[in-house]
Amino acid sequence: PRSPRVFSGIQPSGNLTLGNYLGALRRFVESQERGVESIYCVVDLHAITVWQDPEKLRRTIRELAAAFIASGIDPERSVLFNQSQVSAHAELSWILSCVARLGWMNRMTQFKDKTQGKNAENESLGLYAYPALMAADILAYHTTHVPVGEDQKQHVELTRDIAAKFNHDYGVDFFPMPAPVIEGTATRVMSLRDGTKKMSKSDPSDQSRINLTDDADTIAAKIRKARTDPEPLPETWDELSERPEARNLVNIYAALSGEAREVVMERFAGQAFSVFKPALAEVTVASLAPISSRMRELLADPTEIDRILGRGAERAAEISLPILAKAKEIVGF
């Protein structure tokens, strides 16, 4: 069997959240620490499927790279790079667009979700074709495992369909089938304003999320104002099943402190949120302060970030360009 290779990307859209950290960045670091070959990509080609201010995009690309490194991604051990700097993504995306069927793309629920309430006719062709580019991102590295959120699972399944059709149409056994590694609900961080909604960098309310760059006072204030119910905390995790806001806060505490939820429940059983929230603020600040201060240090030297991304792009190209070349040969170029 082939040795595992992980690929994952995050869009440089600014406002990285505690959700991105616990659900993505921290898991990526764990995969690196297990010694799995890991390739992490700042997916800027995906970002421009909706218009981006160029100056802001340049900044958010560096910010995301800094967040990867500050969270523990070691650009020597993992490959960390910027999608637009490696031509294999766009080139393979075209070939795969010619393999994918319109009917398959029409079934993608994310495009429907993203255009809900809008006139889809006015969206970019790129936003519609996004899953074909994502397939290229994954297949250009002969990736075996793709850590994704539940919302991206359908795109990994489409990637498998595209890989299988390419192999079938050209009579080859070239693209291996990548497996999605789904982020468990345990790692899903919910909005501080609504315990049934995901904490998201695209939520219009800044109060709904904790940003990786928030300072200690901001974090404490957001947690103090987080929506909760009036009941004190019960003794067991199961008793929180109908209390999404309380559940979310306990979940965050457990994830950041590294303790089991039951241990956290025991410690705070019978306590009011006026006791629990300051404790949560404390563990959150303790976890995020080193990350935000490291991000600030890194961002003070953009040339160095660009150098790291440039080096990462060279390494990414070493893996993906031969795979692209072979795909082109198979197609008849």
Q: Which two tokens stand for residue 131?
A: 């899953």
Q: State how far the alpha carbon of 235 is from the alpha carbons of 227, 240, 246, 265, in Å.
A: 20, 9, 13, 6
If one asks whether residue 202 binds ligand ADP (CB under 6 A), the answer comes out as yes
Is 198 known to be catalytic? yes
Q: What angle do CA 268, 281, 198 make, to 5 degrees?
A: 95
Structure token pair of residue 163 = 């890989």
- Residue among 197, 198, 225, 277 flagged as catalytic: 198
Residue with tokens 């490959």, as numbered in its chain: 79
112 is catalytic: no
Q: Is residue 11 annotated as involved in ligand binding? A: yes
**Angle at alpha carbon of residue 64, lines to 43 and 38, rounded to 5°:** 65
Q: Give the C-alpha distances (Å, rounded to integers) separating 188 from 72, 155, 212, 323.
A: 20, 19, 16, 34
Q: 3-state class of 181 per DSSP? A: strand
The answer to whether residue 187 forms part of the interface with ligand ADP (CB under 6 A) is yes
Residue 189 is labelled as binding a ligand: yes
Q: Are 136 and 292 in contact (CB under 8 A)?
A: no
106 is a site residue for ligand ADP (CB under 6 A): no
Do residues 95 and 139 make contact, with C-beta atoms less than 8 angstroms apart?
Answer: no
By the rule CB under 6 A, 261 interacts with ligand ADP: no
Q: Is 13 annotated as a binding residue?
A: yes
Count of residues engaged in binding ligand ADP, rule: CB under 6 A: 19
Q: Is 93 annotated as a binding residue?
A: no
- For residue 137, say whether it is annotated as part of any ligand binding site: yes
Taking CB atoms, the residue at the shortest distance from ligand ADP is: 23
- What's the rounded Cα separation, in Å, for the pair 25 and 73? 8
Q: Which candidate, 175, 172, 89, 174, places its Cα nearest to that of 132? A: 89
Map residues 17-46 to x or -, x wherever contact with ligand ADP holds by CB under 6 A. Answer: x-xx-xxx----------------------
154 binds ligand ADP (CB under 6 A): no
Candidates 50-58, 129-137, 183-191, 256-264; binding stretch for ligand ADP (CB under 6 A): 183-191
Tell me if residue 225 is catalytic. Answer: no
Q: Give the C-alpha separation, 171 to 202, whole Å.
A: 43
Minimum CB distance to ligand ADP smaller for 189 or for 324:
189
Binding-site entries for ATP: 11-13, 19-20, 149-151, 189, 198-202
Active site residues: 114, 198, 201
Binding site for ligand ADP (CB under 6 A): 10-11, 17, 19-20, 22-24, 148-149, 183, 187-189, 198-202
Binding residues: 11-13, 19-20, 137, 149-151, 189, 198-202
**Annotated binding-site residue numbers for L-tryptophan:** 137
